[in-house]
Amino acid sequence: MVQIILLCMVFTCVSAMQAQMHRYLLSSKWGPVGYKEVEDPTQKTAMDEIIKANEFMASRVIDGTTTLREGDIAVSTGRRSKVCFARSCQWAKSVDGHVYIPYKISPDYSEMDIKLIKKGMENIEKGTCVRFVPRTHQRDYIDIQAQSGCWSYLGARGGKQTVSLQNPHCVQVGVISHEFMHVLGFVHEQSRFDRDNYVTVMWPNIWRDRLRNFEKFKTENLDLPYDFGSIMHFGKYAYSQDGEPTIVPKNNQRMKFGQTEHLSHIDKMKINKLYKCDDDDF
């Protein structure tokens, strides 16, 4: 009888703790750990949706050798994967001036999902020399899968490389375009080594287990200005632990960060400069 009573007490305590944690993780104020629900729709970014999906629905550990950095960049142990503006990380350019990226889409997606994925591809293609083509025999290609979370490897790795677009949380045009920008070799905008000239990272407001997501890297900026409106920019409240901003602009406090759906003009300029696209190739 004593054992039964003790078991009941333990069960009651565990249930109470689970309920409390469930309320904490799902409350309208906090949302999933590291995510602040942005009330103003004009302030939302594609990265906000990625954080929401990856923090709540996915794991930062993809498999035994691959983890996520900066929230959605897949990094494998022992492989150079951070600074990918280098030419070795680019996709090959064809003799006709286009950069063809072969792709394969999982049959697990619905017809509507596939339309949205292709819309994300069109976002990249419009005004650039990049073209996504169904894979036939190509050795290097992206394999779009409905795995756990939204993530991609950085740049061309060689052979098959997975792009995860979990259904339905990641099958949004802006999220898809963001991940395809990683495929092309672009890191998050606020990772630029000169970012402190333009934004202030509010370190005390960041969830302590996600501080590494705000590191700077010495990437080539292609002689282009800092792009507050890049689809690759974190939102103002990315990984906030207390509902306060984690990134603020230095000069104009009303400056909007990021995009929800489309690439910025400078995003397209980045693609064209990195891949040396000519106007005739658009």
Residue 135, classed as helix, strand or coil, is: coil
Give SS3 for 162: strand
Sign of the torsion formed by the C-alpha atoms of 32, 235, 282 and 119: positive
Among residues 49, 179, 189, 261, which one is catalytic?
Answer: 179
Annotation says 122 is catalytic: no
| pLDDT value at residue 78 | 60
Omega before residue 168 within 30° of 0, cis: yes
Which residues contribute to the annotated binding site? 178, 182, 188
- DSSP per-residue letters across 33-47: TT----SSGGG--HH
Residue 103, SS3?
strand
DSSP state of 147: -
pLDDT at 30: 41
Residue 66 CA to residue 60 CA, distance in Å, equals: 9
Residue-level pLDDT at 65: 75
Per the annotation, binding residues for Zn(2+) are: 178, 182, 188
Q: What pLDDT is stored for residue 57 in this prediction?
A: 61
Q: Rounded to a whole number, what is the distance in angstroms from the first to the last CA of the chain? A: 78
Residues in the chain, overall count: 282
pLDDT in single tens digits along all 282 residues of the chain: 544 444 444 344 434 444 434 433 433 344 455 555 666 777 789 999 999 899 876 566 677 678 888 999 998 876 444 445 445 589 999 999 999 999 999 999 999 999 999 999 999 999 999 999 999 999 999 999 999 999 999 999 999 999 999 999 999 999 999 999 999 999 999 999 999 999 999 999 998 889 999 999 888 889 999 999 999 999 999 999 888 999 999 988 888 999 999 999 999 999 999 999 987 766
